[in-house]
Structure 1
Amino acid sequence: MIKTDLLEKLNKEPKLSANAVTVLKKRYLKKDEDGNVVETPQGMFQRVALNIANAELKYGSESKYEEYAVKFYDMMVDLKFLPNSPTLMNAGKELQQLSACFVLPVEDSLEKIFEAVKHTALIHKSGGGTGFSFSRLRPKDDVVKTTKGVSSGPVSFMSVFDSATETIKQGGTRRGANMGILRVDHPDIMEFIYAKQDKSKLTNFNLSVAITEEFMEKALKNEEYELKNPKTGKTVKKLNAKDVFDQMVKLAWEGGDPGIIFIDRINKFNPTPKEGEMESTNPCGEQPLLPYESCNLGSINLGRFVKGNDIDWDDLRYVVQTGVRFLDDVIDMNSYPIKEIEQMTKKNRKIGLGVMGFADMLAMLDIPYNSEEAIEMAEKVMKFIQEEGRIASSELAKERGNFPNFDDSIYPGMGFSNMRNATVTTIAPTGTISIIGGCSSGVEPYFAIAFYRNVMDNNKLVEVNPIFKERAKKEGFFSKELMDKIAEQGTLHDIEEVPSHIKKVFVTAHEISPIWHVRMQAAFQKYTDNAVSKTVNFPNDATVDDVREVYVLAYKQGCKGITIYRDGSRDAQVINLGTKEKSPKEEIAQEYHGVFRPRPRPKVLFGKTLEMMTGCGKLYVTINFDENNEPFEVFTSMGKAGGCAQSQCEAIGRLISLVFRSGGDYDIVVKQLKGISCHMRYGFGQNQILSCADAVGKAIEKAIMMGSEFKVINQEKLTVDKLLAEAEKKVASTTEQQIRNGACPECGGPIQYVEGCDVCHSCGYSHCS
């Protein structure tokens, strides 16, 4: 029973933005069996503080339980520190799974591979993400002695993990995410590098190549390197390292995958080498871990420590010390999905104290992100946090004991004879918790100074960066009309009303040279025990050589990995500008000149009828095509269900038919319908039907894709079933593309690729979590 006087001390009200409250209600606050929110934001912070402070009781201190319950609460409610999402979501609830991510081993046997699949399912069910190295698996077509068959290779088995992830639902709070890694000297490396060129495959994976020092040196010298069978250790062939490196660069330029990690550099800083080598990272790459380790992360909101023209170093020191203790307590309060993870995590007790709000700090100090002053500030702040964090961990070890795998031959070099945690600092993605904290994300620059946020009834609300808004008012150029104008483009670049010195400070990600992105990542990496989650943004017109330059710079600057994203590189369709011959549809649009005047219906049309299973029953959707193989009209029938659902579907069909007959583009119709959700869903994964409207949109998309293959049917005599299967595969692919490149699937807001993941800053949706 919690003492009344203790609860009275946890009385400070959090000051949250409307957007933060929306995110909390949707994803974090307790709900009853009917899905109704039954917890306030203040109640959430109380729940988390009291639960994590319970670890103090495990060490026999009632007074410290009360002391740190208050300290933890105040630190969170002041938005100076926030733990990772699983801790906010699950602490003090039945699940009590508090870790964000895990690394699992994948051994070279069928039994061990499917044991890893099973463990993956349990982790994803609990809300965690997983990282794997597939480097131990024998290569494709290698002989399996026990069966005299041949191995299907790492990439084939990755698809099994991908399917398992797609199937597991995470309680509506977090989506499964994986990191797949293969060493650059594995014989199947080229298949791995090309594994995501087909965007419909491995959609639940980020991919990274584990690059060795030897490989990088040979790539820079244009020399050959050896590929070795991991089962036998024998060299099977040689490749030119530069050619392989160039292929990685080219594919990253095309679509972002694969990223790279510098595996030898990661192991150079392995604090427990006697426990084995680190093979993989978590899904966003910032947390290298041994097999069966988990990461427990939290982030300090740097913008909250700006005091005048400087930083309140004393306050920052206090929060670092308290944050280290909080994260160490998380390890003891965690409910682990499998026993192996609990054992390894408690042997090394790794924590990852990171930062967010760095761009806010710079703006408040009047420092441009792309400047030497900003690089110096990054090093100064992170060095302070790392040093103070290690001091806090060392002091905690005197109180509670060293972590069990502590090696006194390693830590004296750092000046410590005691250490509670094998690692202390990590720069992790903060996509959702930065919304709660009302700050910029991680160590990233601003992605927009203002943007439109969708609210109820399809209205748009302008969301303006609060620091910029305050500055605009202070300098006398604020107006609602100006904020609307900025929201239209997101940046200040072409806004004449904004003074030049303000533009220089409030610079956005795509206005910053990729070189500055890498230099900033390297500055933080210099004083980070684990790694740094950071995306290097490129404009759409960046060249392959530009990406290569950044990859090489990341290696030379001491980064542990690199993730890049070229604007628009994941779009499902390239927009071509210029003059071209008009299509029949464009002729129709020109003839009717924008007037909503549907063409007369021919006496004979040909089409296809698709059966779609919905939460309301079977829905039959008929799409008829004109002589140019363009969709002309849509009819719907709800089987035996009828009633309201049938009338709604009939209305949808009539309106769609008017659009098609007036020369409207089917892409627009499909985009409007797909993703509409109701409480009567059917199925799961990418093939889930969210509503009857969603079913109609997906049926039209399938029919169009089948329709475009009529000639193929005649040439290859494909069956309708096979054609439908191909269409469904393409629909799944385009659904993934919508999520990754277009509007947010949950609120329709803009999706941004940040910290190695797709994030919506309007509602908190994250493709990775």
Structure 2
Amino acid sequence: MTEVVQSGSEGATASKSASKPAAPKAAKPAGRPAQAFSPNGLAVDRIYTTAGAHPYDEIEWERRDIVMTNWRDGSINFEQRAVEFPTSWSVNAANIVTTKYFRGAVGTPQRETSLRQLIDRVVLKYRAAGEEHGYFRSAADAEVFEHELTWMLVHQVFSFNSPVWFNVGTTSPQQVSACFILAVDDTMDSILNWYREEGLIFKGGSGAGLNLSRIRSSKELLHSGGTASGPVSFMRGADASAGTIKSGGATRRAAKMVVLDIDHPDIVEFVETKAREEDKIRVLRDAGFDMDLGGVDITSVQYQNANNSVRVSDDFMRAVEEGTEFGLRARSTGETIETVDAKDLFNKVAKAAWECADPGIQYDDTINDWHTNPESGRINASNPCSEYMSLDNTSCNLASLNLMKFLTDEDTFDSEKFVKAIELIITAMDISICFADFPTEAIGVNTRAYRQLGIGYANLGALLMATGRGYDSEGGRTLAAAITSLMTGTAYRRSAELAAVVGPYDGFARNAEAHARVMRKHAAANDAVRSVHPADKSVLAFATEQWSKGNELGAKNGWRNAQASVLAPTGTIGLMMDCDTTGIEPDLALVKFKKLVGGGSMQIVNQTVPRALRVLGYQQEQVEAIVEYIAEHGHVQDAPGLKLEHYDVFDCAMGQRAIKPMGHVRMMAATQPFLSGAISKTVNLPETATVEEIADVYFQGWKLGLKALAVYRDNCKVGQPLSAGKSAKVDEKVETATSKVVEYRPIRKRLPKSRPSQTVSFAVGGAEGYMTAGSYPDGGLGEVFLKLGKQGSTLAGVMDAFSIAVSIALQHGVPLETYVSKFTNMRFEPAGMTDDSDIRMAQSIVDYIFRRLALDYLDFDTRSSMGIHTAEERARELETGSYAPIEDEVSEDELESLAQSAPVAESKIESKPVELKLTDSSKAHSSTELMESLLGSSADAPLCMNCGTKMQRAGSCFVCEGCGSTSGCS
């Protein structure tokens, strides 16, 4: 029997090699371990590779220069020249791998210089450990294993989690797990040990979670007669500790989760903790302090380094449903010390999540009903992103597949190749436990005893779009369910085969019946999936076969692993694999920015879009027209020739046709029955969502059988939002019909010889300058001149020319708001902090200039629709809920009436009329809509502490697409 042990540049330049460079020598494992081949070992078949040829020899390689700059002052914060990558890898992927995963000090001979060295460092260690521990039948099988893993990694078919790339094959401890669950008891020794253990885990590049419910509440007495501090007070110390540690050697922030049971007497204090802190952040931000992620002043606010979750029971949720009372229980005696209204408490949880996105929710009885090891203890907590849920003091190593790599040229899912890839990946993941180091003895003992794995995937959103399925559709959910079932069924079948070779996990005998019961539940859920689509039926047939074979083998051999699968956020590794979408998420937007070799970026329509249009039956001319429309507008609404029934295929997380909140929940519910763990996913809600809507999402998550759920309401946390204001609502009422109209072709209206002007001095990211703006007698802007100091003659000359071009266009009648919408949010160096109290951060000098001009020359409604406000207006919004002065507020009904009755405004610029016929019946869309679609959820996200790029959500965390930094787990 096994007992659970408890313990208290962004840009990069590239130059293609004239010929294939010689392969750098990979670091060999120190000493060759003893080989233990056996006739009962695994026979490994080739999937991708060719006998007699190494995978590297079939790839075209090139040398690139990786240079990353500091977004605040333009200084170089990373530089490595002539690194080697396949030509097929994007600039982004190469940048991220070089800066995050290459080991050795830059500029020394020990520094890795090629992707070959990185992959060999990891794969050769896995092969050696597999040979040493008796996994393979022969040396030939071990070599095939090595070559197949290498091929899949270099071709971005899958990736191990970040700690593997950080640590394996180096002189550091061989920590391979990304996810840890700790335990804390109601003693000071245990609480202080909690701080220590978290620090060790963060140092290795991983995250940890734990349940604080064993700690006595502030409403209970100590043995000495005093009153206990309560768990929330001890969270302060852990939060401060996490805030000083960067995971994996300064590669990313510490990631942590704290959980409290719903029946804990301090539950209300826990629920409201981060909402109160968010109020402080807003006040400090509006006072001019730097409160962005990584900002110098954010450390003055508490509890910002953890995700908070409430663990709810079925009893509590039934009390919410029935409107009855619920008891809060003392930790020391178990007696009820307070009775509360269950619905009122549930609404407090929803209100706090509405205010600051915390707490998330975990459904305790559902989690433990799918627990394969209940005889060894309950599942009390999760890792920071809520996908790994298992026993206390355990860990899980992750790997994720790139689903788009299994989409054939015929637009079908290659189930056979998917199965073969999973067999190899699960084998490698299990091998890693044999040599892995762990931060504490208890975690090491328990992980080796239960061998939890977390295989998952990324790029589901892209796959669904590419096959012509809407994310929020029955077809989309069915294919997702079938693929997830196939993945986990195959993983457990391979686990049963491994049990025959190297034995079941140590804790299996004690939990044999419980484990088998959960396997039957998974198989029954698979049998309940129904589909009429032939492609889905094929995937489901493969999945059914895997569950049948796996359960048959498991009954005979047992299983090697207590858990097999999760759906992780895949932040950094998703970028490493050049995935369009992370984890189980839909696409963020149809138009994105792509980094270019040599620096810079370009705006492109996702390549998944034309593929989806061809699958849906559109001809090439139609595809080109629709793609061109999307490139201009950022969405498909009213795209020429696109059928209404196909709109939902192109729905994204944000923008014109954002997926409804319950669309996210339904997708999670479709895949949850086929996962050992849970799903790291955030349900996005619009800024206008109510507390009641969030409560309903949390309630429906329980009804649909989820294990955990997190929400994010746009603009609920500090950031610079893009919003569609009142003027946008008026625009929505305007219809354009086919008619004879007069087009005004403007002529230049020159400024008078003597005109009013104002000069503003500014500093952006340390670069100083002056802007002089001249206006017409009526106050309209007519010219802009920019003078930059100490920037060199070239940049000064370019800015002079730019000023003249803008000035001439303004005098020809181009509205200032057109320039503001086009040039705000444009990012290049210098960028960063400014000396302007109204505009504390700017992504470039151009971004600052047009924000300043908007504040000085545009009316309130126009610039408010673009999300541009003064410091005074932001402060007013905090106090009153509105940016507008009280006397300027207009009701929705008054606006609508005004829109219907207002005549067309006359141009103030002299014009020459030309008679034209317009036949375009599409609605006019403001440029702010396009920007909102392009930026997606990053409009409300923090700036990356490393490169200044707006981050994007990946599960419960943020990830930077510019440099791969994350705000939490990967």
TM-score (norm 2): 0.61
SS at match of 1:424: coil
Counterpart pick for 2:588 among 447, 456, 459: 447
| Equivalent residue number for residue 55 of structure 1 | 129
Q: Within 5 A, what are the aligned runs for 1:451-462?
A: 451-452=592-593, 459-462=600-603
Q: CA deviation at 1:538?
A: 1.1
Between the aligned partners of 1:514 and 1:481, the Cα distance in structure 2 is 27
Shift in alpha-carbon separation, 1:300–1:574, aligned structure 2, 3 A:
closer
| Equivalent residue number for residue 32 of structure 1 | 105
Q: Within 5 A, what are the aligned runs for 1:16-165?
A: 16-34=89-107, 38-60=112-134, 61=136, 63=139, 64-95=141-172, 96-146=174-224, 148-165=225-242
Between the aligned partners of 1:749 and 1:497, the Cα distance in structure 2 is 36
Shift in alpha-carbon separation, 1:488–1:454, aligned structure 2, 3 A:
farther
Between the aligned partners of 1:383 and 1:759, the Cα distance in structure 2 is 28
Between the aligned partners of 1:593 and 1:488, the Cα distance in structure 2 is 37
Between the aligned partners of 2:595 and 2:256, the Cα distance in structure 1 is 30
- 2:698 aligned with 1:597, yes or no? no
Counterpart pick for 1:289 among 381, 390, 399: 390
Preserved CA contact (<8 Å) 2:626 2:641: no
SS at match of 1:505: helix
Preserved CA contact (<8 Å) 2:458 2:570: yes
Q: CA deviation at 1:100?
A: 0.5
Deviations 1:352-407 (A, max 9, x none): 11111111221221111111111111111111112111111000100000000002
SS at match of 1:304: helix
Q: Within 5 A, what are the aligned runs for 1:365-384?
A: 365-384=467-486
| Equivalent residue number for residue 576 of structure 2 | 436
| Equivalent residue number for residue 693 of structure 2 | 546
- 2:485 aligned with 1:345, yes or no? no
Preserved CA contact (<8 Å) 1:162 1:203: yes
| Equivalent residue number for residue 411 of structure 1 | 515
Q: Within 5 A, what are the aligned runs for 1:175-214?
A: 175-197=253-275, 198-199=277-278, 200-214=301-315
Q: Which amino acid aligns with 2:168?
A: A
Q: CA deviation at 1:460?
A: 4.0
Q: CA deviation at 1:423?
A: 0.7
SS at match of 1:374: helix
Between the aligned partners of 2:261 and 2:755, the Cα distance in structure 1 is 57
Q: CA deviation at 1:669?
A: 4.3
SS at match of 2:372: coil
Preserved CA contact (<8 Å) 1:454 1:749: no
Preserved CA contact (<8 Å) 1:101 1:294: yes
Between the aligned partners of 1:17 and 1:269, the Cα distance in structure 2 is 40
Deviations 1:680-710 (A, max 9, x none): xxxxxxxxxxxxxxxxxxxxx9xx99xxxxx
Q: CA deviation at 1:127?
A: 1.1
Q: CA deviation at 1:666?
A: 1.9
Between the aligned partners of 2:263 and 2:503, the Cα distance in structure 1 is 41
Between the aligned partners of 1:513 and 1:470, the Cα distance in structure 2 is 24
Shift in alpha-carbon separation, 1:118–1:319, aligned structure 2, 3 A:
same
Q: CA deviation at 1:596?
A: 4.8
- 2:325 aligned with 1:230, yes or no? no
| Equivalent residue number for residue 762 of structure 1 | 962
- 2:952 aligned with 1:747, yes or no? no
Preserved CA contact (<8 Å) 1:451 1:462: yes
| Equivalent residue number for residue 668 of structure 1 | 839
Q: Within 5 A, what are the aligned runs for 1:156-555?
A: 156-170=233-247, 171-197=249-275, 198-199=277-278, 200-307=301-408, 308-406=410-508, 407-413=511-517, 414=519, 415=551, 416-417=554-555, 418-439=558-579, 440-452=581-593, 459-468=600-609, 475-476=620-621, 486=630, 490-493=634-637, 503-510=647-654, 511-555=658-702
Preserved CA contact (<8 Å) 1:565 1:753: no
SS at match of 1:377: helix
Preserved CA contact (<8 Å) 1:320 1:388: yes
Deviations 1:723-763 (A, max 9, x none): xxxxxxxxxxxxxx999724333333332223111122333
Shift in alpha-carbon separation, 1:345–1:496, aligned structure 2, 3 A:
same
Shift in alpha-carbon separation, 1:303–1:456, aligned structure 2, 3 A:
closer
Q: CA deviation at 1:408?
A: 2.0
Between the aligned partners of 2:426 and 2:401, the Cα distance in structure 1 is 11
Between the aligned partners of 1:668 and 1:93, the Cα distance in structure 2 is 45
Q: Which amino acid aligns with 2:653?
A: A
Q: Which amino acid aligns with 1:747?
A: C
| Equivalent residue number for residue 916 of structure 2 | none
Preserved CA contact (<8 Å) 2:668 2:706: yes
Shift in alpha-carbon separation, 1:494–1:338, aligned structure 2, 3 A:
farther
SS at match of 1:311: coil
Shift in alpha-carbon separation, 1:491–1:137, aligned structure 2, 3 A:
farther
Q: CA deviation at 1:54?
A: 2.1
Shift in alpha-carbon separation, 1:492–1:331, aligned structure 2, 3 A:
farther
Bigger relative contact order, structure 1 or 2, given CA contacts below 8 A and separation 6+? 2
SS at match of 1:323: helix
Preserved CA contact (<8 Å) 1:10 1:70: no
The RMSD of aligned alpha carbons is: 3.5
Deviations 1:542-598 (A, max 9, x none): 22222222111111111001111112221357899679xxxxxxxxxxxx9995515
Q: Which amino acid aligns with 2:586?
A: P
Between the aligned partners of 1:559 and 1:593, the Cα distance in structure 2 is 66
Preserved CA contact (<8 Å) 1:454 1:747: no
Between the aligned partners of 1:97 and 1:669, the Cα distance in structure 2 is 41
Preserved CA contact (<8 Å) 1:491 1:508: no
Deviating more after overlay: 54-63 vs 346-355: 54-63
SS at match of 2:480: helix
Q: Which amino acid aligns with 2:759?
A: R
Between the aligned partners of 2:91 and 2:698, the Cα distance in structure 1 is 40
Between the aligned partners of 2:126 and 2:311, the Cα distance in structure 1 is 36
SS at match of 1:66: helix
| Equivalent residue number for residue 914 of structure 2 | none
Structure 2 gap segments, 5+ residues each: 1-27, 33-50, 60-85, 279-300, 520-550, 728-753, 767-789, 791-833, 846-870, 876-936
SS at match of 2:246: coil
Between the aligned partners of 2:755 and 2:233, the Cα distance in structure 1 is 52
Query: How many aligned positions are there?
Result: 638
Between the aligned partners of 1:750 and 1:486, the Cα distance in structure 2 is 22
How many percent identity over aligned positions?
A: 30
Preserved CA contact (<8 Å) 1:738 1:745: no
SS at match of 2:469: coil
Q: CA deviation at 1:169?
A: 2.9
Between the aligned partners of 2:92 and 2:638, the Cα distance in structure 1 is 27
Between the aligned partners of 2:439 and 2:836, the Cα distance in structure 1 is 48
